[in-house]
Amino acid sequence: MDSGSDQQPLELIVGEAEDGARLDVLLAGLAAVGSRAAAQKLIAGGLALVDGEPRAKNFRVRRGQRLAVSVPPPPVSDLVPEPMTFDIPYEDPYLLVVDKPAGIVTHPAKGHDSGTLVHGLLAHQIAGGANPHRPGIVHRLDKETSGLLIVAKDEETHRLLVGMMAAHEVNRTYLALVHGLFETREGTVEAPVARDSRVRQRMAVSRGGREAVTHFRVLKSWTGRPRGAAGTPGAAGAHGGGFSLLEVQLETGRTHQIRVHLAAIGHPVAGDRVYGQRRDTLAVGRQFLHSARLNFHHPRTDEMVTVESPLPDDLRQVLDQLG
C-alpha cells in the first residue's frame, strides 16, 4: 500500500497485498491509527473514506481504491509528574519494565487523580496510546497486586506491544497463594470473563464474556494451621483446608482474570476480600498476588528480554508464617 503523505489527512492506495482486507483491520495497521478500536472510531465518525464515500468497518477494500483518513491529533495530556521512586529493573530508549509496589494505582481513574504509577513515571518520558491519562500503559495491575509491568516510551513501541499482548507473545508469570489443596499439580482454567451484572465493580465468569485462559502449577502446599494461629481453624476451600502456592501464567489478560478464575474453581487468592473469604485468615492485608516474571522479544530490537521480581517482604512473611 502506498501513502501519499506523512501529514494528515492520510491518502492511501490499496495495494495487491491488502486486496479484500476489512477496512478497520487495514486502518489499524497504520502507525497513525494504531489499533482496531481507534480505526473503528474513525470509521464511525466519518473520518475514513473509500473513494470519497464512507463505508462500514467490515467493508472489504479492493486493489486500486483510494482511502482518505483524517486522524485527529493526539489529545494533550494535562498530567503533572510527581516525585516517586520505583524499582525499574529494565529500561532502554523504547520501553521500561517497572516493579510496581502494592497500594499504587496503575493509571489515573475516577477517584485517583494523583499518586498513580503513571504520575511517578512521567519523568521517564513514557508515551503512546490514545488515552492521554494512560501514556505508555500497555497492561495494568490491580492496586493491591505487586510486580512487573511493561510501559512504552513512544507511539510505535506502544502499538507493537499492544499487538504482542493480543497475540499472546508476552509471557507473564505470577505467584499466588490460594486457599485449599489441589489433587493435581497443574491445571488450566478456560472460562469467559465479563463484568458482573449485579455488582459493576466486580468481574465474573459469564457465557457472554470475553475468552480468558489461565494456566497454573502448584509449587508448594501447606495442610496445617499457620504458626501462631493455633486457635484459628484452617481456611476452607473446595478441596478442604490448607493453602497452595501457585505459579500462574496468563494466556489472556482480562480484568481481575486470575482472581476470578481461581475463585471460580474454589481456590480464591488468600487475602482477596472481593472474590475470596471476607476473613483474612493469614492477615495478608491484600490479595497474595505478585507479577514475578516477564519474558518477551523486544518489539524494536527483537532481543529476548527476561525480567524477574522476587516476592516483596509482606508476602514473604506470609509464607514464613506458614512454615
What's the pLDDT score for residue 197?
A: 80
CATH of domain 2-69: 3.10.290.10
pLDDT digits (tens, 9 = 90+) for 79-118: 888 999 999 999 999 999 999 999 999 988 777 778 899 9
3-class secondary structure, 53? strand
87-166 and 170-322 share one CATH topology? yes
Confidence band, pLDDT 50/70/90 cuts, at residue 159: confident
Q: Decide if domain 87-166 falls under CATH 1.10.287.110.
A: no
pLDDT digits (tens, 9 = 90+) for 251-291: 998 999 999 999 999 999 999 999 987 778 888 999 999 99
- Return the ∠ at Cα 244 (arms to 248 and 220), rounded to 5°: 85
CATH of domain 170-322: 3.30.2350.10
Mean pLDDT of 188-212: 89
Catalytic residue, candidates 78, 142, 313, 314 = 142
Residue located via cell numbers 493480543: 166
What's the pLDDT score for residue 225?
A: 59
pTM for this one?
A: 0.78
CA distances from residue 280 to 43, 186, 217, 269, 307 in whole angstroms, order as listed: 49, 26, 23, 10, 31
What's the pLDDT score for residue 234?
A: 36
Q: Please state the domain extents for the chain.
A: 2-69, 87-166, 170-322
**Annotation says 142 is catalytic:** yes
Confidence band, pLDDT 50/70/90 cuts, at residue 201: confident
